[in-house]
Amino acid sequence: MEPPAIRAALPADEADWRRLWRGYCDFYGAAIGKQVTDRTWQRILDPDSAIMCIVAEVDGKVYGFANCVVHENTWEIQPVCYLEDLFVLPSARGHGIGTALIEWLRNAMRAEGWARLYWVTREDNERARKLYDRFVHADGFVRYMIRQS
Ligand SMILES: CC(C)(COP(=O)(O)OP(=O)(O)OC[C@H]1O[C@@H](n2cnc3c(N)ncnc32)[C@H](O)[C@@H]1OP(=O)(O)O)[C@@H](O)C(=O)NCCC(=O)NCCS
């Protein structure tokens, strides 16, 4: 497989993005409703939204994505980038697409002046962690979450 081209998602990527999103939600066993999915895609395309998405394309076909949220924080003056969702189609894994998506974000961090790029994953997501550990080691923080319902 050729190295992927990484770029911001475009309106024409909607069908591919939805397919990747479904795969990602299935991976986590998450039942995300259509309304939320529609709204997430809408915000990705909205330049005034904090949500952004990059896709990985090889020979005109989209194989992976990263959805991110760029937000303010209290520890730095510059915004930071939260990599919320990362997914590569199962048939395309192991070809460097995940690596290329994170590398693109690391370069964007420098270009955009984000103070940090960060993400979380399940402790037992060994495949993902193998990839992440090549960039940086986990910092030992543990996530807590209270849900509204
Ligand atoms: C994690 C994920 C994004 C990695 O994407 P990827 O394109 O396969 O990543 P890369 O090819 O850049 O590197 C992944 C590493 O894991 C290995 N790997 C990942 N998936 C593999 C697969 N299906 N088969 C064999 N090796 C695989 C790669 O060989 C590579 O390690 P190596 O270079 O030391 O051999 C992808 O496996 C995925 O979408 N997983 C399901 C969703 C997920 O876990 N997302 C992250 C949630 S935080």
Write the pLDDT tens digit of every residue in 77-90.
Answer: 999 999 999 999 99
149 C-alpha to center of ligand 1: Å? 33
27 lines ligand 1 (CB under 6 A): yes
pLDDT over 90 at 1, yes or no:
no
Give the CATH number for residue 110: 3.40.630.30
125 lines ligand 1 (CB under 6 A): yes
Q: Using N-to-C axis directions, what is the helix angle for 14-27 and 34-45, rounded to 10°?
A: 130
Report if residue 140 sits inside a domain: no
50 lines ligand 1 (CB under 6 A): no
Report if residue 147 sits inside a domain: no
Domain count, the chain: 1
In the chain, the percentage of residues whose pLDDT exceeds 90 is 99
Give me the residues paired with residue 103 across strands.
Answer: none
Residue 64 belongs to domain spanning: 5-132
Alpha-carbon distances, residue 50 vs 27, 69, 91 (angstroms): 25, 5, 31
**pLDDT for the residue numbered 33:** 96
Residue nearest to atom 15 of ligand 1 (CA): 131
Report yes or no on whether pTM surpasses 0.85. yes
Average pLDDT, the chain: 97
